[in-house]
Chain A
C-alpha cells in the first residue's frame, strides 16, 4: 500500500515537472499554477505513503537507503511548496522538483519491502536526527538550485546576451536572497542534525563521536556552510561566489549522504 502511494506520488511529481517545463517554454501563467497544484497532490500522496509505511513498519520509516531517499525527496518538495507560496519564483519548480524526482526514481530501483531492522536504528533519537538533517539538506538543495540559476543568469547578463532565458529566470537579487535565506534557515537545522546525530550515536553505539566516514564528512560539510555564513555576514560574500559555494556545499551533502558508508 505504501509503495503504491509512493509510486503515485512520483507520477504526480513527474507530471508537475513536465508542466513546469511547458511553462518555461510557453510562459502561460496558468501552467505554473496548475503545476503547483499537481505537485501538491503528489506531496499529499507521498505524505500518505509515509504514514502508511509507518503504520505497517511500526517505526519511523527512515531506516534504509530507499526510505532515506524517499524522505529526502519529501523534504525537498515540502520546502519547494513553502517557498512557492511565499516567493512566487515561478521557474523554481522546474529545477527543484526534478531533483526530488531523481531521488524518488532512484528509490524505486532499490528494494522497497519493509524488512526487520537493526535495533540501533529504532531508537528515540534516530528519527529526530534524520528529520533535522534532511530538512536542512532540503533547504540547501533549494540554495543549490538557486545557485545554479544564479550562475546561468549572471553569465547571460554579463555577456549582454539578454533574451528568452534571462526573461524567464528570476532576478539576481531574488536568487541571491533565497541563497541567503537558505543559509539562515538551513545552517541551524544542519547543526541540530549533527547534534541529534551524536546523541543518537551515544544511545546506539555508546559514544558521541567516532570519526567514522559519515560523521567526518558531515562535519566537513558543516564547516563549509559555517564558513559561507561567516563570509557572507563579515565581508559580503554574495552573488556569484555564494552561488558557487551553495553548489559546492550541496555536493558535499550529497557525498556525505550517498558516497560515504
Chain B
C-alpha cells in the first residue's frame, strides 16, 4: 500500500498550464467521485489552489496508481498528457508524507509562512471526507499535517513578519496608528508601486483614499479605481491636512514637499501624526521632514531593508520548521509502516503461541503430578522464551527506515515461518475489526 502525491505548482508549471489543470470548487465533488471509481486507488484527495494542483492518493501498486492519476487529470480537463506531463512531480512513501507536511506548513508556498494554504488544505480534506474518498491513511495523514502546520506556526516565527514593501508599509502604519480604519491615505502621482501600496493599505482597512496629480484627469481615473476622491494639485495642502498616510510617487526632479511646508501643516493638523512613504527616485519629500515631531518619513529603501530583514528572519525560521517537519515525518512513517506489519506480526505471534501451547499440553500430560505452582512456572518459562526470541526481530522491524527493506523483511518472515497471511496489505476500516484492534495497540506503541 503506497502513499502517492502527484501534482504541479508555481515552481514547476507556468500559469497557463496551472489554470488548465485547476479544479473549480464546484467540480471537486464530481472529480473526487470520478477518481473513486479507479480500482487502483483506495483513497484519494484533490487540492487545487491558484498556485498548485495536487492529488493525494493511497493505492496498492504505486506505478498503476500514478498512471491512472495522470490519465484522470488528462481526461477530466480534456488536456493531452504530453502537454503537462513535464510539469508534474510525483512523490511516494516517505517523500510523499514530507511533501504534504511541507505544503501544509507553508514551506512550499510562494511566500513562506503564508497563512492561506492551511485553510485550503483543510477544505480540500473536508471535501474528500464528505465524498468518502478519503480513508484511514489520508485521515491520519492530513490530521497529522494540520498538527505539523500548527506546530510550525506556534514554535517558529515563520508567519510573523511582513515580507513585501507594501505589507511592511501596512505594518508600520499600524505601529503608528494602531488601526487603519477611519484613516485617510493620499496618493501623490501614480505608478505601479503607488497603486500596489494603496491596494495593500485598503486591504488593511484604510477608510478613505485621496488622489492628487499634476494632471487632474489622471488623479480622477486613479481615484475612481480606488473609489476615492480626486484632489486638484493646487489644493494639495488641504489633502495633506486630512491625510494620515501619504504615498508620493511623482517623477518630479526636485522635492515637492519641504520641511517648512510640512511644519505648517502639522500645526494646522494639531500635530496629528502623519506617515510619509516616498516611493519616488529622486525623492519627492525633503528628508529633513523626518526631523519634525509626529512625522514619520520612509522611502522605498527603508521599507525594502525592513522587508529583507524579515525575509531573512523567515528563512531562519524556515530551517526550524523543516526540522519540525522531519521529526513528524519520521513519526508518521513509523505509524504507517506498522499498518503493514500488523497482520504479519499478529500471525507470527499467533504461530509462536500455537507452538508454545502445543508443547505445554504435551509436557503437562506427561507430568500429571505437577503442582499448580510448577505448572505456572512452566507456563511463565515458555512464554518468556517466546517473548525474548520475538523481541529483537519485532523491534528491528519497527525501526527499519527504508520502505523497500521493510517489505523485504515482511516477505521473508512470512516465507520462512510459513505464516498464513496473503499479503502485508492492511485495509483498515473496510475489513474485519480484529486486526484494527491489534493495529491500535501497535499504533499506540509506534506513536
Q: Tell me the A residues contacting B by CB distance below 8 Å.
A: 27, 153, 157-158, 160, 162-163, 166-167, 170-174, 235-241
Q: Tell me the B residues contacting A by CB distance below 8 Å.
A: 157, 161, 168, 172, 174-178, 269-273, 290, 293-294, 296, 298, 302, 305-306, 309
Please pick, from A27, A157, A170, A236, the residue contacting B272 in the complex, using a CB distance under 8 A.
A236
A235, B270: Cβ atoms closer than 8 Å: yes
A158, B296: Cβ atoms closer than 8 Å: yes
In the bound assembly, the distance between CA atoms of A169 and B157 in angstroms comes to: 17
Q: Which B residue sits closest to A170, measured CB to CB?
A: B178
B-side contacts of A27, CB under 8 Å: 157
Query: Would you mind naming 28 contact pairs between A and B with Cβ atoms under 8 Å apart?
Result: A157-B172, A157-B175, A158-B290, A158-B296, A160-B298, A160-B306, A162-B168, A162-B175, A162-B306, A167-B161, A170-B178, A171-B174, A171-B175, A171-B177, A172-B175, A172-B176, A172-B178, A173-B178, A174-B178, A235-B270, A236-B271, A236-B272, A238-B271, A238-B272, A238-B294, A239-B271, A239-B293, A240-B294
B302, A160: Cβ atoms closer than 8 Å: yes
**If the complex has contacts A157-B172, A162-B172, A239-B271, are A173 and B306 also in contact, measured as CB distance less than 8 A?**
no
A153, B175: Cβ atoms closer than 8 Å: yes
A-side contacts of B298, CB under 8 Å: 160
In the bound assembly, the distance between CA atoms of A117 and B290 in angstroms comes to: 58
In the bound assembly, the distance between CA atoms of A238 and B177 in angstroms comes to: 13
Can you add 7 more A-B contacts, CB < 8 Å, to A173-B178, A236-B272? A27-B157, A153-B175, A162-B172, A171-B175, A173-B273, A238-B272, A239-B273
In the bound assembly, the distance between CA atoms of A1 and B397 in angstroms comes to: 66
Residue with the highest number of chain A CB atoms closer than 10 Å, among B175, B269, B270, B293? B175
A-B complex: 3 closest residue pairs judged by Cβ atoms: A236-B270, A173-B178, A171-B178
In the bound assembly, the distance between CA atoms of A139 and B305 in angstroms comes to: 39
B-side contacts of A170, CB under 8 Å: 178
Q: Which B residue sits closest to A29, measured CB to CB?
A: B154
Q: Which A residue sits closest to B174, measured CB to CB?
A: A171
B-side contacts of A162, CB under 8 Å: 168, 172, 175, 306, 309
Q: Which A residue sits closest to B269, measured CB to CB?
A: A236
B-side contacts of A160, CB under 8 Å: 298, 302, 305-306
In the bound assembly, the distance between CA atoms of A163 and B157 in angstroms comes to: 13
B-side contacts of A166, CB under 8 Å: 175
A-side contacts of B272, CB under 8 Å: 236, 238
In the bound assembly, the distance between CA atoms of A153 and B176 in angstroms comes to: 9
